[in-house]
Amino acid sequence: MARTYDWEFPLPRTHTGMLLGNGTFGAMVWGESGVLRVTVARADFWDHRGGLSWDGRQSYANIRRCLAAGDEAGLRALFQRPDPAPGEPAHPTVLPMGRVELDFGRGAHLTTGTLNLDEGVATVRIRRGRRELTVRIALDMEHPALCVQVPAALMPKKVRCRPAWEDVGGQLASISFEPPEMLGTDRSDRTDQTDQGRGGPAAHERGARAAALCGWTQMRPADPTLCVAWRQEGRELALAAEYGPDAEAARSAAGKTVAGALRAGFDAMRKRIARWWAQYWRGAARVELPNAGLQFIHDYGMYKFAGLTNPNGVPATLQGPWIEEYQLPPWSSDYHFNINVQMCYWPAYHGNRPEHLRPLWEMLRSWLGVLRRNAKVFCGIDDALMLPHAVDDRGTCMGGFWTGSIDHGCTAWIATMMFRYWRYTGDRAFLRDTAWPFMAGAMRVYEEMLERRGDSFVLPVSVSPEYRGAAMNAWGANASFQLACIHRLVEDLQAAAAELGEPARPIWSEIAAKLPKASLIGPAGAEMIALWDGTGLEESHRHHSHLAGIAPFDSLDFGDPAWAGIIQRSVRHWVRTGAGLWSGWCVPWASMICSRMGYADAAELWLEIWRRVFTNEGGGTLHDVHFPGFSVMGHLLGDTKTRKEIMQMDAGMGAVAAVHEMLLHVRRGVSHLFRGCPARWKRVAFADFRTDGAFLVSAARRDGRVGPVTVRSLAGGVFRLANPWPGRDAVVRRQAGKAETLTGDVLEVALPKGQTARICRA
């Protein structure tokens, strides 16, 4: 049965729309009354000017000097972007493009939309009188093009082009952009009266049967020109967004793409797209949940993951290829590496789509020169790498936020993702050529930052992401987040060295033994995890970074009696501080922590809350709350039809990963099944979850009882499973050989590459 989900019109705002995307090019399908709107964007449509190139000022020594002296002005000056020249922006940003509107005229009403996740096609139903007719929209998975098919009885009366200039032209003009040039030579076309007096060019209309290429070109002061163009032939309309060194070249490129789409036709495009989606779903993880809301979170989320991270597209930014036309994207839709990029890619792991990480790895490899220069400036060594928390697609630092710029956890977190990729794929060449040098380069910066005090190491200057913002007290010694990063990185480096036969630096073992696992606060016997030395969690905070040793870094051992009580008390205190200052992406992370703790009902509840509070009526994933009363993070009052929403993809992808972790998660190299699934769930199942050691796992639980667990090895090795039948033995049946009985809390099953085993309760 095809996976389909329905939307109810009106969908009155851009981010309430149904999403189509191929990693680079995206569309949001929305509208009301008789007007169907398709907002289009490209994730790589950057204005690359501005930003901060690190120089000798951003050194660790200078930062420590300013902090010790309480020199706030001096500290901020280190990371202050130069004042831009007139007509120049302060920092790079992805740019909005615009939309196309199909006006079906008086008496037409959009009723419902359906998104076929298996084929990647959106259908919109339009009622006129007693008839309900359908419009279909498909977006090419390999080219920046989409095609719209309309019934002969419902041809649009007008097709309007609305470049983003209509909304943000004033801002763009102030930084040297020129108005777009509208395509189409027939200037006698009518202009809708509602467009008179708006900023920028008037909306450009063409008759429904126009054959000329229409749309607009948008110059960029320092980057190639973009052309958004469409043309209609009979019942089909094709649209493309292409670049060129100038307007003429961009028009030519877009025209060729449009012509190719029309020549092939909608049905041919749909079949080609369906083959792409069939291949994607064939290998992706599958879940069967008794909670319809969580099932939607997973299915629509995995669909959006493909549109966000297509291996043939650009790496995932904060918003991917879904940029609204009515504002410059918040936070530039850049690359935020203090959780957001990582969260966008979490579904790749258990979701069994590791190839979707490859564009990220390729981009990071292209930045190595920049990252080496950053580390050279920061700590004066040549064999290190340092990644600031916010950069553009060339690795240029956005600047202006000193705590983020020195948050070396950003680099370490990417290093742990690389090692996890190796553990989940068995790709030894990647470990040797990409992960190992990146991990070692990240660790070298920490080695320079650490100091010996007595028989211990201390990290004297550290930050916990976004805690206290960029205030002068937004730092301390031994931030628990950074300690978790370091211990995770040291463990991974030692394992990688053993695998590759590389020498492990002796200091790694010293750090593992002598650096605290976390900073603690409170009297003996009642300690809790602190943000950093002397500072506990004082209030609700959206970044659960001090608990990162629980999830995602898994550097604290639940089974260690020295830590069990500390972890329990820390989580209780975290719950007590509440969610009043949380943003959207915090909530799936909270669900993951609850799954690790075995708080299954809470893991489910947080995801239900997230869907209710941090998504809109169209399923758009929001940074701020959808309505006031739960969190004060950007609560928006007033007319919901005109407010400007902030959409980000991280929370939606984090929610998918949180569902995965309810069903299977890994702690200390051991896979745990159904620990985040409430006991009242009568049936829950999953298939083809990829896990540590490059294994594919499938299992089901009925009426509280876990059935047989099927495991297939992709690389050869030992699968370690927390016994899902506590106190009972298990039986392993392989493809060949005798059955084997296993006992204990952890079941270990050795499997050659390509072999499958079935683990059952004895």
- At 329, the amino acid letter reads P
Q: What is the DSSP letter of 675?
A: T
Label residue 738 by pLDDT band (50, 70, 90).
confident
Are the CB atoms for 580 and 538 separated by under 8 Å?
no
For residues 445 and 455, what is the distance between their CA atoms, to the nearest angstrom?
21
As a whole number of angstroms, the distance between CA 262 and CA 38 comes to 18
3-state DSSP helix/strand/coil percent for the chain, to nearest 5? 35, 25, 40
Which of 89-103, 581-595, 627-641 comes out lowest in average pLDDT?
A: 627-641
Q: What digits encode the pLDDT tens for the residues 230-261? A: 999 999 999 999 999 999 999 999 999 999 99
Q: What whole-number percentage of the chain has pLDDT above 70?
A: 95
Which among 716, 676, 678 has a CA at the least distance from the CA of 694?
716
Beta pairing, strands 670-673 & 236-244: unpaired
d(CA 644, CA 661): 33
pLDDT digits (tens, 9 = 90+) for 492-545: 999 999 999 999 999 999 999 999 999 999 999 999 999 999 999 999 999 999
- The CA distances from residue 364 to 25, 167, 249, 434, 435, in Å, are 21, 34, 30, 9, 11
Model confidence band, residue 462 (pLDDT cutoffs 50, 70, 90): very high
User: Per-residue confidence at 616, pLDDT binned at 50, 70, 90?
Assistant: very high
Q: Classify domain 677-761 at the CATH topology level.
A: Immunoglobulin-like (2.60.40)
Which CATH number applies to 4-47+99-282: 2.70.98.50, 1.10.10.60, 3.30.710.10, 3.40.50.20?
Answer: 2.70.98.50
Q: Which residues contact 619 (CB under 8 A, 6 or more apart)?
A: 7, 16, 296, 300
Q: For residue 592, what pLDDT band results from cuts at 50, 70 and 90?
A: very high
Which residue spans of the chain are classified as CATH 2.70.98.50? 4-47+99-282
Strand partners, 239: 146, 230
pLDDT of residue 199: 39
Question: CA–CA separation, 726 vs 335, rounded Å?
Answer: 43
Region at 10 (left for phi over 0; alpha for psi -120 to 50; beta for the rest)? beta
Q: Cβ(68)–Cβ(61) under 8 Å?
A: no
Per-residue pLDDT band for 263 (boundaries 50, 70, 90) equals: very high
- Summarize pLDDT for 167-220 with one digit per residue, the tens: 999 999 999 999 999 998 433 333 333 333 333 444 444 444 446 899 999 999
Reported confidence tier of residue 79, pLDDT bands at 50, 70, 90: confident
Q: Radius of gyration over alpha carbons of the chain, in Å?
A: 27
Mean per-residue pLDDT over the chain, rounded: 94
The C-alpha atoms of residue 100 and residue 159 are separated, in whole angstroms, by 7
Residue type, position 122, single letter: A
The pairing of beta strand 121-128 with beta strand 717-722: unpaired
Q: What's the mean pLDDT in 465-489? A: 96
Q: Report helix, strand or coil for 396.
A: coil
| Per-residue model confidence (pLDDT) at position 460 | 97
- Peptide bond connecting 96 to the previous residue in cis, omega within 30 degrees of 0: no
Strand partners, 453: 456
- Residue 140 Cα distances to 25, 277, 390, 431, angstroms: 9, 11, 30, 33
**Structural contact between residues 285 and 687, judged by C-beta atoms closer than 8 angstroms:** yes
Q: Please choose, from the candidates 308, 310, 327, 328, the residue with its C-alpha nearest in 3D space to the C-alpha of residue 318.
A: 308
Distance (Å, whole) CA 488 – CA 482: 10
- Phi/psi at 250 (5° precision): -65, -45
Mean predicted confidence (pLDDT) in 634-655: 76
| % of residues, the chain, pLDDT over 90 | 90
Max Cα separation, the chain?
84
Band of pLDDT at residue 1, cut at 50, 70 and 90: low
Alpha helix stretches (DSSP H) within 515-649: 561-577, 586-597, 600-613
Question: Is the Cβ–Cβ distance between 463 and 535 less than 8 Å?
Answer: no
- Which residue spans of the chain are classified as CATH 2.60.40.1180? 677-761
C-alpha distances (whole Å) from 270 to each of 116, 241, 430 are 11, 19, 35
Pair of tokens at residue 282: 């064939």
Q: pLDDT tens for residues 26-75? A: 999 999 999 999 999 999 999 999 999 988 899 999 999 999 999 999 99
3 state SS of 104: coil
Question: Within its chain, how far is the Cα of 87 from the centroid?
Answer: 32
What angle in degrees, to the nearest 10, is found between the helix axes of 368-379 and 436-449?
10
Confidence of residue 696 (pLDDT cuts 50, 70, 90): very high
